[in-house]
Amino acid sequence: LRFGLLLILLLLSNSVLSYAAVPPAVKFWVFLLGVLLPVYGLAAERTGGRKGKAPFYRVEFLPDLPGWPWGLLLAAGFLLRFWRITRLFAWPMGDEGLSGDAALALSRHWNWDFFYSVGQAPPLLDWVCGLFFKFSRDPFLNLWVPSALFSCATLVLGLIAARRYFSKSLAFLVTGLLAFSYWPLYLGRFCLQAVLVPSVELLSLWMLGRFLEATEGPRKVRAAWALGIVTGLNVFTFTTWPLMVVLVGMAVYLHSFGGRRKESGIFFRFSAGLFLALIPFLVAAFRQGYGQHIRDVAVWSRPLDAANLLQVAGGYLAVLGWGVAPGQGFYVPARGGFLNPLLTSFFFLGLARAWRHASLPRVQWVLFAGFLFLVPGFLSLNVEGFRVVQILPLLLLLSAWGLEPLLPASRKAAVLVVAGLFLLTAVFDFARMAQPYRNIAGNPGLFLSTGKTLSRYRAYQVLKDLKTQGGPGWILSEWDLPADHTLAVMTSGFNATLDPGPAGGSPRWLAVMADAHYRPFLQKRFPHA
């Protein structure tokens, strides 16, 4: 009953913080009185648990489910990730255009460069998209299907990783939140390197669990080698990859040297496997240099501004549950936070529960990892959701921890409540994810709030009509802004300058992308254009 009343208070408060148009001072008091103080009161009731009793994250609170509910859960999650995959988001962002441009170049002439674009992005996603461009002429499919596939992999790896560390019931709950909540679904719709992070992160955590449970001898040695290599694969995903190396490396070090028996050989083998996986990055960094983009967006690139530092740090905390003001963040929800108000309420209950059981080593590890994964955001100059993407699985895990005490004592009834939660989350979060793209012509401001370029989207519609009427044409987009290659990438399937087509099939039209100031001259010079 107490948890239920607290949930109602948190739900109302988080709804106001997420969606109500009230002054900041009012939101501050709502947060203080409706979230912080009640959660602090709950968290202050510390408990270490009784000896001999299984930790709370190992307790089963759902019946022993057969295989079909698990399969249904995965199938529904896959369906949401591929629903209107080439049309829902309408148009890519500028950074996606850079990835698409690199993938197009790879499809024509493959290379093994490690860094791409001015941000020195790791190569894995560009390599995968480059393979898609080799076999398909649909750029929408080539950009977004690979991301959806990696998002599906996140769902599967989240299941097996949660099953490695927690009870079956908790693993089912975490998998459902990965399947239906906003942030995992949102990630699966972008062609950006950050979409790779959760899948490789969860793979690393699953391998860490296998390593910790491996018996002594050759099996332990093989597990250490494999864990080092898999942890090193994070370097192919996104610039925040060192955090996983630090986290897993610390776990292996404590396991090897924290007990009475020192296992320096095991740690050496892990380190050797990690070094092998990092060789491509180290070679590329030595040849080309590395880190300029990171320095440009870090707090130390400008004179220290304590007020801005606090505002950015607060923005990264707020965007997890309530969102930031329009125009103050990139790759964030148009309204609300990555967690909807209900899941935000569960998260705070789970955080209080974790604090009450902070004596448990696994809980300590989760809390430390959560703080570690927020550090890149705290040290940057602005709010960009992908910089803290590694916290996603832990965010949902804490939400699951907060939900479990509220479930009915009857396990069958608990299944119905969990199923209802999954359905509610899927409908609500998928709807708000799709909201900016429902009526682009009637509400262009909402589309523009996502950071996408409306002019290029409209130009594409014109060029697509020309292609439908007259086949491929010459599209000269070299005069477009170098930071936004979206039009060039999305018209690549019918641009005769890139693919001349069969002999004798001369294009019947030509399009030029130019600055608007040239329009009077062009209209005078080409009056029939």
pLDDT tens digits for range 227-252: 999 999 999 999 999 999 999 999 99
State percent of the chain over pLDDT 70: 97
3-state secondary structure at position 300: helix
pLDDT at 467 over 80: yes
pLDDT at 334 over 90: no
Within 13 Å of residue 461, how many CA atoms lie on the same side as its CB?
10
Q: Single out the residue of 175, 72, 241 nearest to residue 425, CA to CA.
A: 175
Instruction: Report how far residue 161's alpha carbon sits from residue 248's, in angstroms, rounded to the nearest whole number.
Output: 14
Query: Which range, of 78-87, 169-178, 414-423, 437-446, averages the lowest pLDDT?
Result: 437-446
Contact 425, 342 (CB under 8 A): yes
pLDDT tens digits for range 278-289: 999 999 999 988
Q: Please report which helix (H) or strand (E) contains residue 510, including its range.
A: strand 510-512
Q: Single out the residue of 436, 421, 502 nearest to residue 176, CA to CA.
A: 421
**Mean per-residue pLDDT for 306-335?**
89
Contact 236, 278 (CB under 8 A): no
pLDDT at 85: 95
Residue with tokens 């988001």: 89
Q: Single out the residue of 444, 451, 432, 499 nearest to residue 471, CA to CA.
A: 499
Structure tokens at 413: 């009834």
Band of the pLDDT at 363, cuts 50, 70, 90?
A: very high
pLDDT at 503: 47
* Angle made by CA atoms 348, 379, 360, in degrees to the nearest 5: 40
Query: Which range, of 136-150, 267-281, 395-409, 489-503, averages the lowest pLDDT?
Result: 489-503
Interhelix angle 124-135/139-165, nearest 10 degrees: 130
pLDDT at 263: 79
Within 13 Å of residue 273, how many CA atoms lie on the same side as its CB?
23
**Mean per-residue pLDDT for 427-446?**
92
Residue type, 449: S
Q: pTM value?
A: 0.93
The CB density around residue 202, as the number of other CB atoms within 10 Å, is 23
Average pLDDT of the residues of the chain: 91
pLDDT at 268 over 90: yes
pLDDT at 72 over 90: yes
Residue with tokens 């239920």: 4
pLDDT at 51 over 90: no
| C-alpha to C-alpha distances, 452 to 241, 273, 459, nearest whole angstrom | 27, 41, 13
**Mean per-residue pLDDT for 199-218?**
93
pLDDT at 438 over 80: yes
- Where b means 16+ CB within 10 Å and e means fewer, 223-247 reads bbbbbbbbbbbbbbbbbbbebbbeb
CA pseudo-torsion sign 287, 288, 289, 291:
negative
pLDDT at 518 over 90: no
pLDDT at 504 over 50: no
pLDDT tens digits for range 470-484: 889 999 877 776 778
pLDDT at 222 over 90: yes
* Angle made by CA atoms 423, 168, 245, in degrees to the nearest 5: 95
| Ordered alpha helix ranges (H), 404-480 | 411-434, 444-448, 454-470
pLDDT at 169 over 80: yes
State percent of the chain over pLDDT 90: 74
Contact 184, 154 (CB under 8 A): yes
Instruction: Report how far residue 459's alpha carbon sits from residue 130's, in angstroms, rounded to the nearest whole number.
Output: 25
pLDDT at 185: 96
pLDDT at 528: 84
